[in-house]
């Protein structure tokens, strides 16, 4: 009877707990790295959008002698249509506050 039980192929509870512990450790190391990478990506995209806006404003200022609203920049072809009336991308909201807004 004992011989029959020893010949069964199965995982023991200890082996399963060790596997779960190893997976937990791997997830504990990987998740913070993924979160930090995603945050860095979002910051890079936001900076790129702000550089685009700055370039458009600089071009408009050189051409017209004043700053413009986003709608004017879109109308002049300096920004694409997603900038009309502000937009939201990856959880970041971009709004045209206009001159003198706080």
Query: For the chain, how far is it from start to end, CA to CA, in angstroms?
Result: 83
Q: What is the pLDDT of residue 16?
A: 93
CB atoms near residue 78 (< 10 Å):
20
Rounded CA separation 77/29 (Å): 46
Q: In the chain, where are the structural domains located? A: 12-94
Q: What is the pLDDT of residue 47?
A: 93
Q: What is the pLDDT of residue 4?
A: 55
**Partners of 95 in the beta sheet?**
none
Q: In the chain, which stretches have pLDDT less than 70?
A: 1-8, 99-102
Average pLDDT, the chain: 86
- DSSP at 82: G
In tens, the pLDDT along 57-85 reads: 999 999 999 988 888 999 999 998 888 87
Task: Check if the beta carbon of residue 66 is closer than 8 Å to that of residue 72.
Answer: no
Q: Position of tokens 């936001």?
A: 46
Q: What is the pLDDT of residue 32?
A: 93
């Amino acid at each position: 009877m004992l011989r029959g039980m020893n010949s069964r192929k199965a995982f023991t509870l200890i082996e399963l707990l060790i596997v779960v512990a190893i997976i937990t450790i791997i997830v504990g190391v990987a998740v913070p790295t993924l979160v930090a990478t995603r945050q860095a990506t979002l910051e890079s995209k936001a900076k790129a959008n702000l550089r685009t806006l700055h370039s458009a404003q600089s071009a408009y200022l050189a051409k017209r002698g004043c700053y413009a609203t986003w709608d004017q920049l879109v109308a002049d072809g300096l920004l694409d249509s997603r900038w009309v009336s502000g937009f939201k991308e990856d959880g970041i909201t971009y709004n045209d506050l206009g001159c003198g807004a706080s």
